[in-house]
Amino acid sequence: MKRSKLGSSDLLVSEIGLGCMSLGTEEVSAIRLIHEALERDVNFLDTADLYDDGRNEVIVGKAIKGRRHDVILATKVGNRRISGQEGTTWDPSKKYIISAVKESLTRLRTDYIDLYQLHGGTLEDPMDETIEAFEMLKQEGLIRHYGISSIRQNVVREYVSRSNIVSVMSQYSILDRRPEEEILPSLAANDISMIVRGPVAKGILSSRGDQKTENGYLDHKAEELQKIRGELQSLVHEDRSMAHIAIRYVLSDPSVAVTIPGASSLDQLLHNIAAGDVTPLTEEEIAIIRDFSKANHYAEHR
């Protein structure tokens, strides 16, 4: 599988990664899926301390035991659980990040994290303090690089200009083209990569997506989604499914290093990975897709 450099880092990531959030908590089956992904040349695994109250990190840690050097391991921080309270509270403070990374390292059974990501962010955060925490963890060797996971353009803009992030994780798909307007050009100009989540838009851009259009998606009504699916169907052929086209579309931007479609079954996993063997979309095909889809815009967080 093709590998790409993640921003200005020395990390070479498979263009198809594995978003581990959807693996579930059944340990045996989740570990089997991770092992299958690794056997098929996927090397980028993305998790977070938030997923399943840390259980996801535990499962990932068990799955990569003895194979740590084969994996580019990414996790996230910022959503803090407080004993006796339900849910989480947002905490991007230096003190919390430094304590949280140690807990993630324990759950992941490793002594370093390849990519540590801020799991959100607002303009009201103490950004200098947050950045200082990440830089300190780099110097100590607990993390190799850091990035942010956010769709807030104003927050992304601040980290691009003020920090040494190597990546931005963002939702991006044929149905959510918002990053094309401002975020992707900014990343390209600063040697920062995008990690794409949601490339098949909750399954709408897949063979079974007809069943998932009823409630719409972002600013798309059900009728619009059906029309886009119909247009995409004309680009499908025997060796290339609608989901493959959706995944190849986001990978067509040179600033996208890796996309992390989730998988909760072996069939889903293998189908996602197969997108790595599909011929990239031509410029003509990309133009056709952009013609019948919407160039959405961020109305907030600019």
CA-to-CA distance for 205 and 245, rounded, in angstroms? 9
Picking from 224, 247, 253, the residue whose alpha carbon sits closest to that of residue 235 is: 247
Which tokens is 213 given?
Answer: 């259009």
Rounded CA gap, 37 and 64, in Å? Answer: 11
Structural tokens at position 286: 């990309």
Exposure of 145 in the CB half-sphere (CA atoms within 13 A): 22
Residue 168 CA to its chain's centroid (Å): 8
Catalytic site residue from 51, 146, 217, 249: 51
Distance, in Å, from the CA atom of 298 to the CA atom of 302, rounded to the nearest integer, reads: 7
Cα–Cα distance for residue pair 194/282, rounded to 1 Å? 21
Pairwise CA distance, residues 194 & 6, whole Å: 8
- Could you confirm whether 51 is annotated as catalytic? yes
Catalytic annotation, residues: 51
